[in-house]
């Protein structure tokens, strides 16, 4: 076996008889190795299409899966209701400050750069009609400029430079702030980051930030088409870093774009595994159905120039981009448009520098104006603005009711939960419970995950991960499995474990994957202690919560095998964020006879970024497919559940009345099952009180 078992006698007063399962030789890399092997297995059969008919079939299937991963788009777009809030006149161009709606009451802040009217009098050959002359040039080609993770967003001088350059070369330019960035952050000042636990609030409602950005950029195109100056047949998009990802996805999805230039962003999905990236770049489950080459191929036969830098991170490196482009190139060939795919590389760190911009100017000029051969065009002289000058809402002038990412996510969550009625009779609950349980299984452990688990069991990927190492043993008729993300040894030596033993429980504390001694050393980003391991898992379509539940169930399997069965009473107690693991495990495994959560999340619904939680708990679409924390607790009925010291998404404790209201759904379910007293809640987290309630 990958793991051997060791017996270790620890201090009797603290731990009683203890079994310490051996650690792997390389515990820190074990999880990453598993993730990489799983990804490689998922994409092992990839090959480029041989015929155009084959590609068109793949194209349709890929678009379907992408849309599902993004949570779908509204069936009917809301009115744009654009408003102009100001204007700046500059040499050769002017800048308008614009806002428009992308969804009801969701406002996108933007700057429109309009070239001097004399630019519109320059005769050009229309790339679609071939017409040349003054009438063909009355409307301008337009480029949507999307920013990356520069602090100033659309206002940042790095972003301004390409906007001014394009405008001076005769393009209409629309630069927009992404949701949660620039003027659209939680606070009113520039410089906020929209990733980690801000973007995480979108996952439970099934609307990841990547998909929201695609849809918002489609609405930006809708806005461009309302402008009388713009020729809607000549649209392009460009951005760098996170903006390069926006460019790739929007350029692939929205065929109104005739040219796309993603900069310092293209590599391949498997290169993300082992490094950090923003939540806005993650497509949940993407590796189940494609690699990055598939998305790039969706641009064909339209024009795509991929720009990479030689000194960039591995996920955006020249070598990794070449892998994707080698697979995408045959698709352009099938359309008879090999010239519409170009790879431009530069000796540079991660950037969108002048050389890169000049390459983009030439590409856009060829494909949107029908001029030149796509070679670089020299950048006009320019002077960028102070970022504050470009704001639609300078200083603190943004309206107080402006909808931010967490507020949008909370509103969407409430809509989903409103569609889950409180059952009125046992029969109704039985049908509803089956639907919710099936939904929980689907989001935690879908078909691809079950297939991977079978392969693990056969030893082809990672047999270790089905039987987690643990501290403790059981010698009584009552077994308590104690879950704590700070590690098995800490959990086994803590006050809660000691109190459980005093009450006659044998205590076992597992080392959940990618936590404790197995934690990735560079995992934390911002408020997310498990940021990177959680993201890698999302790429696979195997959220960490589902993997942790599998660890708990695998532990029970191992204990039963070692001891010839499990004791009559099996409790799972989750401390802090691990409370969610305890509830989900109990909801899906009837061997667990009772469950307790201590200081754990009470609801996925939060109008603020998550604090004190784990990104791995944020499962895409869990609210839609299964329900909130309280709904999952209801699935444990009629078995006892103790909720002690529950907290809000931003780590604020709930008092007794708030707890009672929050858990109204399971209270009703427990009453219907005749086990009303089996559900209890405590505003405090005293180990003694928790254990007494767990009896």
Q: How confident is the model at residue 344 (pLDDT cuts 50, 70, 90)?
A: very high
Residue 631, both tokens: 């709904």
Same domain, yes or no, for 383 and 512? no
Chain centre distance of CA 464: 27
Answer whether residue 603 is part of any domain. yes
Does a structural domain hold residue 7? no
Residues 405 and 441 in one domain: no
In whole angstroms, what is the distance from residue 18 CA to residue 21 CA? 10
Residue 450 lies in a domain: yes
In this structure, how many other beta carbons lie within 10 angstroms of the beta carbon of residue 383?
Answer: 9
Q: Based on the structure, what is the number of domains in the chain?
A: 2
pLDDT in tens, 91-116: 999 999 999 999 999 999 999 999 99
Asked if residue 503 and residue 402 are part of one domain, the reply reads no
Instruction: Return the pLDDT at 20.
Output: 39
pLDDT-wise least confident of 38-42, 501-505, 559-563, 674-678: 559-563
pLDDT single digits (tens) 173-228: 999 999 999 999 999 999 999 999 999 999 999 999 999 999 999 999 999 999 99
Hey, CA dihedral for 197, 202, 204, 206, is it positive or negative? negative
The answer, yes or no, to whether residue 591 has pLDDT greater than 70, is: yes
Cβ of 12: how many Cβ atoms within 10 Å?
Answer: 9
Q: Is residue 291 one of the residues assigned to a domain? A: yes
What pLDDT was estimated at residue 8? 31
Tell me, what's the pLDDT at 129? 53
pLDDT in tens, 401-424: 999 999 999 999 999 999 999 999
What is the pLDDT averaged over residues 32-52?
96
* Domain identity same for 401 and 441: no
User: What's the rounded mean pLDDT across residues 8-36?
Assistant: 55
Please tell me whether residues 337 and 460 are part of one structural domain. no
pLDDT over 90 for what percent of the chain?
A: 86
Identify the helix (H) or strand (E) that includes residue 212. helix 209-224
409, 440, 472 - which closes a domain: 409
Using the structure block, give the residue that is written with the tokens 């299409």: 49
* CA atoms within 13 Å, Cβ hemisphere of 595: 29
- Report the CATH number that the domain containing residue 564 is assigned in CATH: 3.40.50.1820
Residues 470 and 617 placed together within one structural domain of the fold: yes
Same domain for 398 and 436? no
- Sorted by sequence, the CB contacts under 8 Å of residue 475 that are 6+ apart come out as 16, 17, 506
For residue 27, what pLDDT is reported?
72
Single residue among 409, 441, 464 that ends a domain in this structure? 409
Give the integer Cα–Cα distance in Å for 255 and 239: 17
The answer on 573 and 478 residing in a single domain is yes
As given in the structure block, the two tokens for residue 154 are 């659309």
Identify the domain boundary among 348, 374, 409.
409
Contact present, 467 and 556 (Cβ < 8 Å): no
- What was the pLDDT predicted at 5? 30
3-state secondary structure (DSSP) of residue 490: helix
* Strand bridging mode 124-125 / 132-133: antiparallel
Burial class from Cβ neighbours inside 10 Å (0-12, 13-18, 19+) for residue 13 reads exposed
Contacts of 484 (CB under 8 A, 6+ apart): 490, 491, 494, 509, 574, 575, 576, 578
In which element (H, E) is residue 124 found? strand 124-125
Q: Tell me what pLDDT residue 306 has.
A: 98
Give bridge partners of residue 90 from the DSSP assignment. 93
Structure tokens at 305: 């120039």
Please provide the size of the chain in residues: 695
Do 214 and 98 belong together in one domain?
yes
222 domain residue, yes or no: yes
* Residue 4 belongs to some domain of the structure: no
- In Å, what is the CA distance from 562 to each residue of 61, 385, 513, 566, 591? 46, 70, 21, 9, 16
- Tell me: pLDDT of 134 over 90: no
What is the per-residue pLDDT for 473? 80
Which helix (H) or strand (E) element contains residue 178? none
SS3 100: strand
Average pLDDT over residues 78-92: 98
Residue 415 maps to a domain = no
CB atoms within 10 A of CB 540: 23
User: Residue 146: inside a domain, yes or no?
Assistant: yes
Same domain for 219 and 155: yes
Mean pLDDT value across residues 381-397:
97
Domain that holds residue 195: 61-409
CB 332 within 8 A of CB 343: no
One domain for residues 404 and 469: no
* Residue 564 and residue 500 share a domain: yes
């Amino acid at each position: 076996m990958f793991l051997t078992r060791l017996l270790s006698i620890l201090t009797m007063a603290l731990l009683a008889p203890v079994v310490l399962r051996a650690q792997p030789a390389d515990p820190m890399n074990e999880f990453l190795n598993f993730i990489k092997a799983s990804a490689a297995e998922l994409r092992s059969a990839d090959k480029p299409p041989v015929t155009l008919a084959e590609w068109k079939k793949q194209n349709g299937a890929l678009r379907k899966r992408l849309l599902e991963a993004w949570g779908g788009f509204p069936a009917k777009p809301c009115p744009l209701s654009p408003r102009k809030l100001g204007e700046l006149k500059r040499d050769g161009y002017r800048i308008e400050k614009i806002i428009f709606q992308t969804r009801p009451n969701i406002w996108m802040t933007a700057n429109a750069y309009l070239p001097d009217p004399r630019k519109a009098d320059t005769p050009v050959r229309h790339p679609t009609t071939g017409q040349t002359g003054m009438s063909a040039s009355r409307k301008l080609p337009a480029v949507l400029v999307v920013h990356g993770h520069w602090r100033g967003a659309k206002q940042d001088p790095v972003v301004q430079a390409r906007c001014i350059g394009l405008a001076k070369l005769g393009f209409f330019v629309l630069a927009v702030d992404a949701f949660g960035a620039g003027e659209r952050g939680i606070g009113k000042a520039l410089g906020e980051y929209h990733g980690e636990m801000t973007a995480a609030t979108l996952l439970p409602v099934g609307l990841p930030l990547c998909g929201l950005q695609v849809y918002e950029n489609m609405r930006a195109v809708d806005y461009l088409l309302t402008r009388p100056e713009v020729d809607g047949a000549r649209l392009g998009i460009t951005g760098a870093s996170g903006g390069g990802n926006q460019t790739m996805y929007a350029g692939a999805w929205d065929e109104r774009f005739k040219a796309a230039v993603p900069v310092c962003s293209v590599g391949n999905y498997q290169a993300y595994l082992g490094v950090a990236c923003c939540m806005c770049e993650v497509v949940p489950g993407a590796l189940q159905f494609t690699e990055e080459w598939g998305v790039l191929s969706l641009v064909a036969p339209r024009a795509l120039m991929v720009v990479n830098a030689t000194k960039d991170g591995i996920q955006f490196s020249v070598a990794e981009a070449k892998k994707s482009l080698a697979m995408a190139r045959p698709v352009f060939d099938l359309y008879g448009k090999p010239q519409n795919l170009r790879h431009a590389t530069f000796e540079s760190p991660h950037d969108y520098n002048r050389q890169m911009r000049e390459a983009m100017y030439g590409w856009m000029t060829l494909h949107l104006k029908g001029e030149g051969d796509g070679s670089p065009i020299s950048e006009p002289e320019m002077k960028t603005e102070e970022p504050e000058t470009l704001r639609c809402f300078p200083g603190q002038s943004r309206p107080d009711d402006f909808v931010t990412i967490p507020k949008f996510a909370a509103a969407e969550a409430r809509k989903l939960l409103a569609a889950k009625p409180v059952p009125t009779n046992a029969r109704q609950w039985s049908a509803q419970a089956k639907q919710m349980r099936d939904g929980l299984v689907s989001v935690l452990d879908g078909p691809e995950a079950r297939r991977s688990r079978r392969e693990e069991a056969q030893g082809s990927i990672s047999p270790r991960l089905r039987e987690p190492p643990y501290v403790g043993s059981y010698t009584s008729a009552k077994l308590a499995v104690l879950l704590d993300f700070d590690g098995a040894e800490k959990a086994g030596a803590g006050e809660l474990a000691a109190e459980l033993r005093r009450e006659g429980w044998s205590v076992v504390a597992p080392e959940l994957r990618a936590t404790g001694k197995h934690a990735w050393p560079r995992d934390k980003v911002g408020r997310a202690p498990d940021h990177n391991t959680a993201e890698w898992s999302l790429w696979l379509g195997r959220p960490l919560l589902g993997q942790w539940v599998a660890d708990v169930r695998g532990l029970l399997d191992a204990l039963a095998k070692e001891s010839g069965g499990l004791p009559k009473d099996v409790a799972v107690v989750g401390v802090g964020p691990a409370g969610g693991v305890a509830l989900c495990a109990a909801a899906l495994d009837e061997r667990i006879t009772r469950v307790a959560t201590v200081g754990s999340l009470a609801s996925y619904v939060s109008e603020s970024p998550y604090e004190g939680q784990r990104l791995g708990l944020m499962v895409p679409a869990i609210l839609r497919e299964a329900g909130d924390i309280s709904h999952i607790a209801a699935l444990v009925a009629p078995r006892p559940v103790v909720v002690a010291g529950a907290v809000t998404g931003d780590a604020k404790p709930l008092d007794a009345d708030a707890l009672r209201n929050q858990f109204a759904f399971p209270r009703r379910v427990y009453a219907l099952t005749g086990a009303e007293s089996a559900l209890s809640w405590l505003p405090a987290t005293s180990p003694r009180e928790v254990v007494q309630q767990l009896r």
